[in-house]
Structure 1
Amino acid sequence: MQSLQKFVRAQKIDAAGLTAIGAFERAVIGYFDWDKKDYKRIPVDEQVEVLSLIGDVAEADGKPALHIHAVLGKSDGSVVGGHLLEGHVRPTLEVILTQPPAHLRKKKDPETGLALIALDRS
């Protein structure tokens, strides 16, 4: 995640759709606990296939922010998925960024505490 964050900042990408496939040697997935308004961290401490990774880049607090969900395949054929908090690539992750014609911006939602894409221009 840090490498991808550095890349979008260096390239001045503040709005994009993101997809990827590849593999992680380990990862941390998050499940949003509505009552606690926080992510439960779910460690994945094994080599996994990135079956689907989808998300966006949108401006939050004046800088690009990543919001990514992942579906990871384990060696026994089971899957785990959720909000991607950490992903350590091994051997590769093929990422495609698609920039939209309109600017995407996030605003903190007072009800959830989450940074959500704002549909208005304020």
Structure 2
Amino acid sequence: MGGALNIKNRYCLMAAVFRVPPDVEVVSYLKSKLAEAGISSGFLIGLGSLKRATIAWYDQVSKRYFEKNLDGGLEVASMIGNISIKDNSPFVHIHIVLGDKEGRAYAGHLVEGTSFHLEIMAIPSPRPLVRRYSEYHGLYIFE
């Protein structure tokens, strides 16, 4: 039973890693860095903290987003998303869970946020990820 772990398969991902500078708007900064890196389709993960954020929740009945503004130092407990092509342009879709100093958690789509310290990894997709409008959902979803 003891001894070293024998790993037979090893995988290495090609990824772009970004550190968002303090006091910078996250979504627009990320879009520009992805364009510089030539990534128009892929996946995102991130950790860190934000000074403030606007998150949104999608109501499936009214097919509308409702926004909530958060301030005062927010821990990024989870940040995951994707990069795709919508109307022939790159589209960044980020879901985020934020925690405040009272231990409350807030989750939703990241509309915008101001960085305190944020580290993001973007993993390119080998194929284009394209979104088309779905009448049923009222959203642009993967083809």
Q: Provide, for residues 18-70 of structure 1, a one-character-per-residue CA deviation record: whole Å limited to 9, x for no partner.
A: 00000000001101012221110011122101110000000111111000000
TM-score normalized by structure 2?
A: 0.78
SS in 2 for 1:3: helix
5+ residue gaps in structure 1? none
Aligned length: 117
Corresponding residue of 1:42:
68
| Residue 54 (structure 1) aligned with residue 80 (structure 2) | yes
Moved over 6 A (4+): none
Q: Which letter does structure 1 place at the counterpart of 2:139? A: L
Give the equivalent residue in structure 2 for 1:65.
91
Tell me what 2:29 maps to: 3
Amino acid at match of 1:27: A
Structure of higher CA gyration radius = 2
In the TM superposition, what are the counterparts of 1:19-98 in structure 2 within 5 Å? Answer: 19-90=45-116, 92-98=117-123
- Using the TM superposition, name which of 66-75 and 28-37 deviates more: 28-37
CA deviations 1:2-24 (Å, max 9, x no partner) are: 11112222332111100000000
1:103-114 matches, cutoff 5 A: 103-114=128-139
TM-score of the superposition, structure 1-length normalised?
0.90
5+ residue gaps in structure 2? 1-26
Q: CA RMSD for the aligned pairs?
A: 1.1
